[in-house]
Amino acid sequence: MSDITDRDIMYLPGVGPKRAELLKKELQIFTYKDLLYYFPYKYIDRTRFYRIAELTNSMPYVQVKGTITRFETIGERNKQRLVARFADESGAMELIWFQGIKWVRENLKINTPYVVFGKPTSFGGQMNIVHPELEPAEGQSTVTGIFQAFYNTTEACKKKFMTSKVINKLQWTLAQFLQDQVSEPLPDYFIKRLKIMPLDLALRQVHFPENPTLLKAARFRLKFEELFFIQLKILSLKHKREEYFKGFVFSKVGYNLNTFYKNHLPFELTEAQKKVIREIRRDTGSGRQMNRLLQGDVGSGKTLVALMTALIAFDNGYQACLMAPTEILASQHFNTIQKMTAGLGIETALLTGSTKAKERTIIHEKLESGKLQLLMGTHALIESTVQFHKLGLVIIDEQHRFGVAQRAKLWKKNTLIPPHILVMTATPIPRTLAMTVYGDLDVSVIDELPPGRKPIQTIHFYENRKKQLYEFIREQVNRGRQVYIVYPLISESEKLDLKNLEDGYELMKEVFPRYAISMVHGRMKAADKEAEMRLFKEGKTQIMMATTVIEVGVDVPNASVMVIESAERFGLSQLHQLRGRVGRGAEQSYCVLMSSFKLSQESRKRIETMVRTNDGFEIAEVDMKLRGPGDIEGTQQSGIGFNLKLANLAKDGEILQHARNIARDVLDHDPLFEKPENALLKQQLLGMKNTEYDWSNIS
Ligand code: ADP
Ligand code: MG
């Protein structure tokens, strides 16, 4: 169907071929529609002028009328800046340019009234605006509406005078041209029932708001639509998958699970673990393919759940595989699981990048014959040479390290019926994000730690308290405990980072001459890493110094102290992951965050959050608010969260929940969009690109 809004942007009056090229290349605006959906990033109340005397640091953006009284160029040749004195009747301030000095000097006039826009800051008791926007105070009537919309542009755009203002004008032209020709993608009954603004009005208000109330309603409508169609897509794919794709039926609970449960389980399962296993049993017995995300904070006992799920698969004659993101983790799983299942008679193997060719061949053979029941390993598992006899279950640990495409490869190891999938993550994902990124998975949560664990105490030390830190380490080691000391990746160069760690290592050897100290970093050979980890795990070394390679999953219950050097350099979820390495035994554990005195507001907030709470979900929420959803691990590869134009997963949780509920409601009543009133929805859905959302769809 062709739509007037699909027209090439070149044909919009005021654009033409040259500007069209710029819009396409720099702003990805190809059509009328792209321009229409190129939303402002902020609005300024253009009726409000400030006096210079009123300006304060905390004002986000102001508009001031006045005149330039003089110019002055300051600094060395290469580091020049241009300073203009700008005055009104209440006082004076400075306007500062570091770039485009020549243009400013040639184009701006002294003693002529200007309107200046910008963010005021105070420096040495003087207010100034760096790189302000200026326009002549006379004839300043191009503004439409009370609020002026501001649009992002690039440097290249600005050079060719494609400024925010020009875009604003183009939006105006387009709005006049389109009038009532924007087609409404939401059915009538929706608009009425949900009391939302129709699209054409919303688009007009978002670019040319008449007042704050209308602007708010317009933004709500546009965000809702954006989130609604994503949810509708995800949920309808899920629905289809559940309808059409059969899954292996694990109907039996037999020898393996029963024997393990009776004779091998070293402890009582937590209620949360029991609940999750019940959910998994229900899924795998249903005849539909399981696609389940298991979220559980570090140390909550996910490995055991994974193992018990695998045992169910064996009881029903299927093979399983467990994939981990690092060799250390994979071999740890291998060792733990071998120990736990000793005597059960289960055939397991470990396959990683460093598995020798000869062993590899044996593994391949045993896999294909079906003799091997559980294969554990790293990315090596997804190589195409790895073929299973009857793969019934795929478990992926620490999910966020794997890309979507890698996951899909495992999905496809069976051609006819896909294996059941259990994805485990210790990085709690905020609910809003999970609903979108993993929206088509069912989610289980282990929200309870095994009993007897004492909450980890987290302490923040500035670097001048090294002495106390050493005392503390000594006291803990003398009590028989072990200590991690982790160094961040600071510089771009791995060499320098390594040097940081090595210097630290030398220093610690001097401070603690009688302790045995291990060191692990990313540049070591897998086997050497392994050997060092083993020494620490077996209690032969007391201190483990490492870069973040130990971040994920490593389990040494006797370790009770986690020292994180330069803690201000770590992200929140990473800090939380690292802290999760301790607190696994019955002893009181500690996390010491070392930092310099200079902390940015954000790193202060991160450290405060760590000291305040152990709750991974709470930390994830703070993290998402600080960084925005696009940066949360796991979302990068998904492509979702980035393409959102207006909605923000960190801030618009409520709208998202609302949109998801409505989408589910539609699907419950009309899963195939057969009702005439849903024809519009069907049409929209068909028009959406599949690529971003259909990775879980096996074919
Ligand atoms: P994670 O969820 O971080 O992968 P693990 O599976 O490594 O956690 O479990 C952390 C520790 O808790 C392990 O030492 C494990 O043996 C132990 N554990 C697991 N479940 C229980 C339980 N129900 N009771 C006591 N300890 C448990
Ligand atoms: Mg784990």
CATH number of the domain encompassing residue 563 = 3.40.50.300
Distance 684 CA to ligand 2 centre (A): 41
- Name every protein residue with a CB atom under 6 angstroms from any ligand 1 atom: 267, 269-270, 273, 296, 298-304, 426, 450, 553, 555, 557, 584
Whether 374 and 475 share a structural domain: no
In a domain, 153, yes or no: no
Whole-number Cα distances in Å, 314 to 318, 440, 640, 678: 5, 27, 36, 45
Name the residue at shortest CA distance from atom 13 of ligand 1.
301
Strands 113-118 and 420-425: unpaired
DSSP-assigned letters across all residues of 135-196: EESTT-----SSEEEE----HHHHHTT--HHHHHHHHHHHHHHHTT-PPP-S-HHHHHHHT-
Q: Identify whether residues 609 and 486 lie together within a single domain.
A: yes
Nearest alpha-carbon partner for 544 in 552, 532, 527: 532
Distance CA 544, CA 533 (A): 8
Ligand nearest to C-alpha 329 = 2
Return the SS3 of 637.
Answer: coil
- Residues 381 and 326 placed together within one structural domain of the fold: yes
Residues 151 and 167 sit within 8 Å (Cβ to Cβ) = yes
Ligand nearest to the CA of 576: 1
pLDDT of residue 242: 77
Q: Where do the H-state alpha helices sit in 208-321?
A: 212-244, 255-259, 271-284, 302-315
pLDDT at 699: 23
Does residue 491 share a domain with residue 441?
no
Instruction: Judge whether 629 lies within some domain.
Output: no
CA 12 / ligand 1 centre spacing (Å)? 63
143, 175, 208: which is the final residue of a domain? Answer: 143
- pLDDT of the residue at 459: 96
Q: Which atom of ligand 1 is nearest to the CA of 267?
A: 24
The token pair that represents 6 in the structure block: 């699909």
What are the mean pLDDT values of the chain's consecutive 10-residue runs (699 residues total)? 82 94 95 94 83 88 91 86 94 91 89 90 88 79 67 89 91 90 90 92 94 92 93 86 83 92 91 95 91 86 95 96 88 92 94 92 94 93 86 84 58 71 81 71 85 90 94 95 88 71 92 94 82 90 87 78 94 89 87 94 94 89 76 46 71 86 92 91 81 36
Q: 560 and 523: one domain?
A: yes
pLDDT at 698: 27
> Phi and psi of 246, rounded to 5°?
-75, 160
Which tokens belong to 81?
């800046």
Same domain, 436 and 478: no
Query: Strand, helix or coil at 520?
Result: strand
State the Cα–Cα distance between residues 477 and 427, nearest whole angstrom: 29
Task: State the total domains in the chain.
Answer: 3
Shared domain check, 345 and 309: yes
487 close to 566: Cβ distance less than 8 angstroms: yes
Same-domain status, 467 and 606: yes
241 vs 698: CA distance, rounded Å: 8
624 contacts 491 by C-beta, under 8 angstroms:
no
Establish if 302 belongs to a structural domain: yes
pLDDT at position 415 is: 58
Q: 498 with 572, same domain?
A: yes
Q: What is the pLDDT of residue 145?
A: 57
Alpha-carbon span 296 to 424, nearest angstrom: 8
pLDDT of residue 410: 62
User: Is 583 contained in some domain?
Assistant: yes
Identify whether 263 is part of a domain. yes
Burial 94-111 (b: 16+ CB within 10 A, else e): ebbbeeeeeebeeebeee
Q: 418 with 360, same domain?
A: yes
Structural element, H or E, at residue 360? helix 357-369
| CA-wise closest residue to 290 among 446, 448, 444 | 444
* 544 inside domain: yes
Q: What is the CA radius of gyration of the chain?
A: 30
Residue 655 near residue 423, CB atoms below 8 Å? no
Can you spell out the DSSP letters for 201-220? HHHHHHHS-SSHHHHHHHHH
How far is C-alpha 150 from the chain's CA centre?
27
Q: How far does residue 450's CA lie from ligand 1's centre (Å)?
A: 7
Residues 405 and 467 in one domain: no
Domain edge (last residue) among 401, 425, 446:
446
* Phi, psi dihedrals of residue 137, rounded to the nearest 5°: -70, -30
Ligand in closest contact with the CA of 330: 2
Q: Is residue 233 classed as helix, strand or coil in its secondary structure?
A: helix
Flag whether 538 is in a domain. Answer: yes
Spatial CA neighbour of 517 closest among 494, 498, 540, 501 = 540
Distance CA 114, CA 508 (A): 63
Contact of 119 with 145, CB cutoff 8 Å: no
- Which of 264, 274, 293, 303 has most ligand 1 atoms within 8 Å of CB, for mutation? 303
Q: Which atom of ligand 1 is nearest to the CA of 584?
A: 11
- Which residue among 560, 583, 613 closes a domain? 613
Residues 429 and 292 in one domain: yes
Give residue 427's domain range: 255-446
**Does 299 reside within a domain?**
yes
How far is it, in rounded angstroms, from Cα 587 to Cα 269? Answer: 20
